[in-house]
A and B are shown apart, each in its own frame.
Chain A
Amino acid sequence: MIYFIIFIVLIVIVIFFFVSIYNALIRLRNQVKNAWSQIDVQLKRRHDLIPNLIETVKGYMTHERQIMENITKYRSQAMNAQTVGEKAQAESLLSGALGQLRVQVENYPDLKANQNFLALQEELTATENKISFARQNYNDQVMMYNNKIQMFPSNIIAGMFNFKEEEFFELKDQAEKEVPKVSFS
């Protein structure tokens, strides 16, 4: 009888642990999904801002056609990207091109004084920041989720229910670190 009770108690404890680990995995996975949708929202916002930006800048920046063409090209690439990796690559190229544009603005005092442009610049800065914070949050969530999947004992339950590791959203180094070239023409 006493063994039976111990057995039941053990079973209950095991089930309890099982359920709590499973729930934790679900919670983490949902957090990852949610964090990803946050990035998506911000990326889309940036795509929406770009035509407006180009329109405002075009009249002033006559020598910077190449940069503007790049921005338009990378924007459409980014909008058509499918996987996390592809998206990260296209978006980082776009970030690089926008950074170059920002450096060039220094050469156009009229543009810098334009009220419309100033408002746009604040929006652009904010959107860039939001993207990077959303990315930071996403990567944190992915790390926590992946850790949980790899670590014992949660890895057993993760294996049973087919929880798969998620991909980090990393900006490719060359675009991130590349110092925009400044030409004084």
Chain B
Amino acid sequence: MWELIQSNKRKSLILFFGMGALLILIGFVFGSYYNSETGGAVGVFFAILLWMILSAVSYFGGSKILLAVSGAKEVTKEIHPQLYNVVEEMKIAAGVPYFPKIYIIDDPAPNAFATGVKPENSAIAVTSGLLSTLNRYELQGVVAHEMSHIINRDILLMTFAGMMLGAITLMSEVFFRGMYFGGGSRYRSRSSSKSSSGQAQVVIMILAMVLAILGPILAQLFYFAISRKREYLADASAARLTRYPEGLASALEKIANSTYTLRTANKVTAPMYIVNPLKKEGMKLADLTSTHPPISERIKILRALQQGIGYKEYQKIYEMISGKKEKIIPDSALKEAVPAMPLQSAFTEEKDFNPVEAKRQTGDILMKMNDYQFINCSCGVRIKVPPDYNKSIVVCPRCGRKHSINI
């Protein structure tokens, strides 16, 4: 675990500075395209500015923005003891000192994501749909997956990678717009300069075009490739934490079978979720433009973990199932000294998981979070009073008893 974290931190740092260098290069080339004398410097200036703004925003406010965009609300132990307990169990299993905040998103589509560049301010958000479809052990699998993203510092890596993607896309867009609306300065500078610098001008022009076209595409493929590998790694780590891969496997199955689509997800936030909220099943593994590996394959790998749970086993089974030699688990994890752990002899399955009951309970929890008041009438009816109800007395619909409301 320790080596893995160190290597991820290193990678993030490389990515951070590599991205800065790339942005400055692009800025220089694009700037030079418009004005060969001073354009380069101006381009570099704007590139550095963009880099700094993006870094600051995503480092300090990224998780808050993401949570606000998805409409997540924080929950305490009193509101949802089970969810809170499951998160704490995973914290203990991983032996980490930090406790992520827990959020619920009011959405019937089952999904979850983790956020927070620093583990100390991390958060795990789950949808109400997830809570109402999964039993305790499946929920545990999902939480373990999200917890692994936090522990492995995947979020740091993905945040910087996402930032790089955004910055490159933005710059190439600005470049194309500028060209479209007439790069007047280009013609002026060309006519005034001699033929020797004209040649350099052509080179710069071609370079700028190539960068503007290929840059965003390459950055995207790179981003998606990292994202997919991180999903596999988080699955492997989750199996290691719970020692019960079936929990996550059956949770993924239920999520994949759900017909709801998440309302609040978009292209930028999609890679954060445990299962791609935008695309449905049926994509191929070779699909380079996908942020997540196919669910069916993830489930198959998890279910095939029979001999023992470790990163090496996961890698081996991945190669067996996909028929590819691709490394999905980083070396730093593979060389870890912890041997494969024996499978936790299956937990006593929760027999009394009742989907209807679970749905009703989740609904109650959401109402509680939204300041609804609950009144138990002595005839057995549970009256739920919305917060904007402005009378002081509510009448039971069954027996007609009057209940006063304390405001």
**How far does the alpha carbon of A130 sit from the alpha carbon of B242 in the complex, in Å?**
11
Q: Does A147 contact B (CB under 8 A)?
A: yes
**Do residues B82 and A122 form an inter-chain contact, with CB atoms below 8 A?**
yes
Q: Knowing that A137-B95, A147-B337 touch, tell me 12 more A-B residue pairs with CB under 8 angstroms.
A: A35-B95, A119-B81, A122-B82, A126-B81, A126-B88, A129-B85, A133-B90, A134-B92, A134-B93, A140-B338, A141-B95, A144-B338
Interface centre among B92, B93, B337, B339 (most CB of A within 10 A): B92
**Do residues B82 and A136 form an inter-chain contact, with CB atoms below 8 A?**
no
How close is B344's CB to chain A, nearest CB, in angstroms?
A: 8
Q: Does A72 contact B (CB under 8 A)?
A: no
Q: Chain A contacts of B82 at CB under 8 A?
A: 122, 126
What DSSP secondary structure best describes chain A's contact surface?
A: helix
Q: Does A42 contact B (CB under 8 A)?
A: yes
**How far does the alpha carbon of A119 sit from the alpha carbon of B79 in the complex, in Å?**
12
Chain A interface residues (CB < 8 Å from chain B): 31, 34-35, 38, 42, 119, 122-123, 125-126, 129-130, 132-134, 136-137, 140-141, 143-144, 147
**How far does the alpha carbon of A119 sit from the alpha carbon of B88 in the complex, in Å?**
17
Kindly identify which residue among B85, B88, B90, B338 contacts A143, using a CB–CB cutoff of 8 Å: B338
Q: Does B316 contact A (CB under 8 A)?
A: no
Q: Which B residues from 217 to 271 make CB contacts under 8 A with A?
A: 241, 243
In the complex, what residue of chain A is closest to B89 when comparing beta carbons?
Answer: A129
Q: Does B10 contact A (CB under 8 A)?
A: no
**Do residues B95 and A31 form an inter-chain contact, with CB atoms below 8 A?**
yes
**How far does the alpha carbon of A35 sit from the alpha carbon of B90 in the complex, in Å?**
14
**Do residues A144 and B337 form an inter-chain contact, with CB atoms below 8 A?**
yes
**How far does the alpha carbon of A129 sit from the alpha carbon of B85 in the complex, in Å?**
9
**Do residues A125 and B136 form an inter-chain contact, with CB atoms below 8 A?**
yes
Q: Which B residues from 73 to 112 make CB contacts under 8 A with A?
A: 81-82, 85-86, 88-90, 92-95
**Do residues A38 and B85 form an inter-chain contact, with CB atoms below 8 A?**
no
Q: Chain B contacts of A125 at CB under 8 A?
A: 85, 136
Cβ-closest 8 pairs across A and B? A126-B85, A133-B93, A137-B95, A133-B92, A129-B89, A134-B92, A130-B92, A133-B89
**How far does the alpha carbon of A132 sit from the alpha carbon of B140 in the complex, in Å?**
14
**How far does the alpha carbon of A38 sit from the alpha carbon of B94 in the complex, in Å?**
11
**Do residues A130 and B89 form an inter-chain contact, with CB atoms below 8 A?**
yes
**How far does the alpha carbon of A84 sit from the alpha carbon of B92 in the complex, in Å?**
19
How close is B218's CB to chain A, nearest CB, in angstroms?
A: 39
**How far does the alpha carbon of A58 sit from the alpha carbon of B86 in the complex, in Å?**
28
**How far does the alpha carbon of A143 sit from the alpha carbon of B337 in the complex, in Å?**
10
Q: Chain B contacts of A42 at CB under 8 A?
A: 92
Interface membership of chain B positions 46-88, coded 1 if the CB is closer than 8 angstroms to chain A and 0 otherwise: 0000000000000000000000000000000000011001101
**Do residues B93 and A136 form an inter-chain contact, with CB atoms below 8 A?**
yes
In the complex, what residue of chain A is closest to B339 when comparing beta carbons?
Answer: A143
How close is A72's CB to chain B, nearest CB, in angstroms?
A: 24
- CB-CB under 8 A for A137 and B92, given A122-B82, A125-B136: yes
Q: Chain B contacts of A134 at CB under 8 A?
A: 92-93
**How far does the alpha carbon of A126 sit from the alpha carbon of B95 in the complex, in Å?**
16
In the complex, what residue of chain A is closest to B351 when comparing beta carbons?
Answer: A106
Q: Chain A contacts of B95 at CB under 8 A?
A: 31, 34-35, 38, 137, 141
Q: Chain A contacts of B140 at CB under 8 A?
A: 129
Q: Chain A contacts of B94 at CB under 8 A?
A: 137
Question: Could you pull out 27 A-B pairs where Cβ atoms are within 8 angstroms?
Answer: A34-B95, A38-B95, A119-B81, A122-B82, A123-B81, A125-B85, A126-B85, A126-B86, A126-B88, A126-B89, A129-B140, A130-B85, A130-B92, A132-B344, A133-B90, A133-B92, A133-B93, A133-B241, A134-B92, A134-B93, A136-B243, A137-B92, A137-B94, A137-B95, A140-B338, A144-B337, A144-B338
